[in-house]
Copies of this chain bind each other. A is one copy, B any other.
Amino acid sequence: MANLGERVLAGDIRAASRLIRNLEDGIPDTDLIMKDIFLKTGKSHVIGITGAPGAGKSTLTDELIAAFRKKDRSVGVMAVDPSSPFTGGAILGDRIRMMRHAEDKKVFVRSMASRGNMGGLSKAVGESIHVMDVLGQEVIIVETCGVGQQEVDIINHAHTVIVVLVPGMGDEVQALKAGLMEIADIFVINKADRDGAGKLYKEVLSVIEMSSRNCGGDGWTIPVLMVESVLEPHKFAASVAALGEKIEEHHQYLVANNLIEARIRNKTAAELNEALWASIMQPVLNELNAEGEFEMMVDQLMKRHIDPYTLAREIAGRYMKRSPCGDGSSADQS
């Protein structure tokens, strides 16, 4: 297994693919490989792209790859979007379009399913970013579907966050405002030829003006970029190229104003949380499940013979050296 890590550190693409698959599947001992990889990370610029399903994130990602390649940047893509063609969720036409980068050795695209990964999806995504980082990808794009907390957790792995909106999706905008306003560094209004694009542009601008981040935040003026329909390929490419420029500008701004450190701190704290879960919570759950005890406890709960709080305290007492403070007062009274 350690051999796999050495091969990744030596730039072996196939080893990297296998390691990412192991991370997704939660294969034991993958941590041993990731320890060495982690210490070599920190060079890539990580870009998050999020927005509702149907916002055209994948098409945008595809064109962004082309824009970065024109500037000779190596690009990694991690797609965690159930509607993304990268993850196999969309129609054939999209998948074929993506293939145009398949022969380019400086483009490394991987996807991760957002289901069935018990609590470890954000961890697996963060670690996959590290793998792409040590592999030498200068830019790494994380594409995810933005509504729930899990998606926000994933997008927080990025230094620069792009929120993609589309005219005519109604309350959707309302929801995006509620959840994603705080994390957007750049807004994109996609399919800007549609009715309502101008109205949406003004709405987003007014939200930005009102936001607390804009007054007294990090000083970055959140731009709103219009991206033309993919049906007009030249206009589309030009507007995505402009987006690419704006992304680099944001990165330079973060570096020049010592803001990048705060972002990296947030990312790192999230990773530590995820590692603590994997070392503390997961082994307990594994043991309870392996011995059938978990199901027996569920039986007792269903019969209302006991409550989950009392059971959880018993399990905590069995595995924990002492009851840490914070929850201690209630443990005394139980």
Contact = CB atoms under 8 A, between A and B. Distances in A.
A302 B35 contact: no
Interface size class of A (residues with CB under 8 A): 35 or more
Number of chain copies forming the complex: 2
Contacts of A319: 280, 320-322, 324
Contact of A278 (B147, B172, B312): B312
A121 B149 CA distance: 10
A83 B171 contact: yes
A29 B283 contact: no
Contacts of A178: 82-83, 89, 115
Contacts of A176: 53
Q: Which of A42, A304, A312, A316 has the most CB of B within 10 A?
A: A312
A90 B173 CA distance: 10
A175 to B, nearest CB: 4
Given A42-B304, A171-B54, A275 B311 contact: yes
A98 B148 CA distance: 24
Contact of A294 (B121, B269, B320, B322): B269
Given A175-B145, A312-B278, A321-B321, A327 B297 contact: no
A65 interface: no
A265 B316 contact: no
A311 B274 CA distance: 12
A235 B133 CA distance: 57
A238 interface: no
Interface string A262-288: 001100110111111111111111110
A96 to B, nearest CB: 16
Nearest to A123: B308
B280 A280 contact: yes
A217 interface: no
A259 to B, nearest CB: 14
A279 B53 CA distance: 36
A38 interface: yes
A246 interface: no
Interface string A301-327: 110100111111101101111111111
B169 A169 contact: yes
B28 A327 contact: yes
Contacts of A258: none
Most chain B CB atoms below 10 A, which of A81, A149, A151, A169 = A149
Interface string A15-54: 0000000000000110110111011011000000000111
Interface of A: 28-29, 31-32, 34-36, 38-39, 41-42, 52-54, 81-83, 89-91, 114-115, 121, 145, 147-151, 169-172, 174-176, 178-179, 261, 264-265, 268-269, 271-287, 290, 294, 297-298, 301-302, 304, 307-313, 315-316, 318-330, 333-334
26 contacts: A39-B307, A42-B304, A52-B53, A53-B175, A54-B171, A114-B179, A149-B150, A271-B301, A271-B308, A272-B294, A272-B298, A272-B301, A273-B285, A276-B281, A276-B312, A279-B312, A279-B315, A280-B284, A280-B312, A280-B315, A280-B320, A284-B324, A287-B324, A319-B322, A319-B324, A321-B321
